[in-house]
Amino acid sequence: MSHFSIQNGVLHADSVALPAIADTYGTPTYVYSKTALMQNFGAYADACAGRDALVCYAMKANSNLAILDLLAREGAGFDIVSGGELLRVIAAGGDPGKTIFSGVGKTVDEMKLALEKNILCFNVESIPELHRLNEVAAGMDKRARVSLRVNPNVDAKTHPYIATGLKANKFGVAFDDALETYRAAAALSHLDVVGIDCHIGSQLLDDSPLLEALDKLIELIDALGKEGIDLHHLDIGGGLGVNYGAEGDKPPVPVGEYLGRLFKRIDAWRADKYDGRPIKVIFEPGRSIVADTGVLLTKIEFLKPGAEKNFAIVDAAMNDLMRPTLYQAWMGVQPVTPRAGEQLAYDVVGPICESGDWLARERALAVEPGDLLAIMTAGAYGMTMASNYNTRGRAAEVMVDGDQVHLIRQRENPADLFSLESTLS
């Protein structure tokens, strides 16, 4: 069920009317629903109940401290991709002991920080990274727990920018090189080889590529066991998609169904080969936890009719929400107070000096200047990808909890934006 719905002719987030939020906090503003967040995380938590499983929220999807705090309280771990994200986990009261560190380019300083904080595991993506991590750990007289990110070479059938599990990708260790890479890792003095992981792509609507990847991981775990390398966990990554609402879009497989199939396969394998001895299972969902918890609230500044196209120029722009221009992503546009009357086809664009500055194209809308629009399903990869291009302060963020509204990030002032800069004198 959507937590953003029209009630009495006005779009609400749970029971709060969005115009009230625009009045208080201005626009553009990201608006999130706490209930939606709890429900999305709950779907994972319920499917994992009673198992040795850990849901490590991939916080690059949305790393606001309020969101991290709420998820940490529900028992979430975190999947981080930088030292900065680890500092966010800690600032939000999350547990570094439930945090895994992904990414192809970890620096020495990031490794040191993560070892100091005693994170659960490094998801290592290459042999040079193994050597660097071993050296850093040795220098600190510590041991680093590692998992290898394996590239199972399955086609996730998604947008090329968000497909990560194919051979031609920069991510992970090639499936055919995995055994050798594990042997190299096991031979290093300050590493404990504890797991295997993969992440094949994002916005997957069907779970068959994920189950195919699982089979590849299982094959490797068995082969490694024969060599005396026993893994304690299996991490299948994130990637489950959401419904952005475009016409003809196929809905994603529900979380419970996907996890049900995955655990069934794992249980059968463990029963068959390991006398039923379980293996810890880790997930790294990002988008499926936060995407539909948020909208970007924006105001129409001008309408500009054209010979070929009509433009609705809004106060949000590509710097606030990159997905449309970066991935040619389709995002829903909902007038906050829908009007009767004739609809025209509009491109919804921002004020930035780039032709790529659009949020939606060819949408039938009946709107007037000053109207509010909600860009739907904007909770993932929205605010975290925002920039200050054109010296635009980033949007405010608020979270609705029932009938309460909490400001969870203040709008940036222009003065904040150049406060770290200095002239030559």
Query: Residue positions in the annotated binding site?
Result: 239, 284-287, 323, 327, 354, 381
Nearest-approach distance from CB 323 to ligand PLP, in angstroms: 12
Residue 227 in contact with residue 263, Cβ under 8 Å?
A: no
- Told to check if 320 binds ligand PLP by CB under 6 A, we report no
Interacting positions 368-397 with ligand PLP (CB under 6 A): none
For ligand PLP, the binding residue among 31, 53, 58, 71 (CB under 6 A) is 58
- Segment 99-128, which members bind ligand PLP (CB under 6 A)? 102
Q: Per CB under 6 A, does 284 bind ligand PLP?
A: yes
Q: With CB under 6 A as the contact rule, which of the stretches 172-180, 233-241, 260-268, 311-319 interacts with ligand PLP?
A: 233-241
412 in Cβ contact with 30 (< 8 Å): no
Out of 165, 238, 350, 382, the only residue in the binding site for ligand PLP (CB under 6 A) is: 238
Residue 301 in tokens: 């500044």
Would you count residue 286 as binding ligand PLP (CB under 6 A)? yes
Measured from the Cβ of residue 84, the count of other Cβ atoms closer than 10 Å reads: 11
The binding site for substrate consists of 287, 323, 327, 354, 381
Q: What is the DSSP string of 59-108?
A: GGG---HHHHHHHHHTT-EEEESSHHHHHHHHHTT--GGGEEE--S---H
| Site size for ligand PLP (CB under 6 A) | 15
- Minimum distance, C-beta of residue 61 to ligand PLP, in the bound complex (Å): 5
CB of 332 to ligand PLP, least distance (A): 18
Residue 36 or 367: which CB sits closer to ligand PLP?
36
- Rounded CA gap, 256 and 267, in Å? 16
Report, in Å, the least distance between residue 278 CB and ligand PLP.
Answer: 23
239, two tokens = 């990637």
Q: Report the alpha-carbon angle 106-109-110, nearest 5.
A: 45
What's the rounded Cα separation, in Å, for the pair 344 and 133?
A: 57
* Residues placed in the known binding site for pyridoxal 5'-phosphate: 239, 284-287, 381
* Cβ within 8 Å of residue 218, ≥6 positions away: 234, 265, 266, 269
Give me the least distance between CB of 82 and ligand PLP, in Å please. Answer: 11
Q: How far is the CB of 18 from ligand PLP (least distance, A)?
A: 25
Closer Cβ to ligand PLP, 134 or 158, answer by number: 158
Letters for 188-207 (x = contact with ligand PLP by CB under 6 A, - = none) are: -----------x--x-----
* CA–CA distance, 115 with 247 (Å, rounded to integer): 47
With contacts defined by CB under 6 A, name the span among 57-65, 124-132, 185-193, 398-406 that binds ligand PLP. Answer: 57-65
Q: Which stretch binds ligand PLP (CB under 6 A): 208-216, 232-240, 304-312, 350-358?
A: 232-240
Say how far apart CA 235 and CA 27 lie, in whole Å: 39
**Which residues are within 8 A (CB) of 185 and not within 5 positions of it... i.e. 6 or more apart?**
124, 130, 146, 148, 191, 193
Are 5 and 15 within 8 A, CB to CB?
A: no
* Angle, helix 83-91 to helix 65-73, in steps of 10 degrees: 60
60 is an interface residue for ligand PLP by CB under 6 A:
yes
- Tokens representing residue 394 in the block: 């980033």
For residue 79, the tally of other CB atoms under 10 A from its CB is 29
Residue number with CB closer to ligand PLP (14 or 110): 110
Q: What is the DSSP letter of 375?
A: E
- The catalytic position among 48, 121, 198, 353 is 353
Among 96, 239, 379, 382, binds ligand PLP (CB under 6 A): 239
Is there a catalytic annotation at residue 48? no
Residues of this chain that bind ligand PLP (CB under 6 A):
58, 60-61, 79, 102, 199, 202, 237-239, 284-288
Which sequence positions are flagged as catalytic? 353
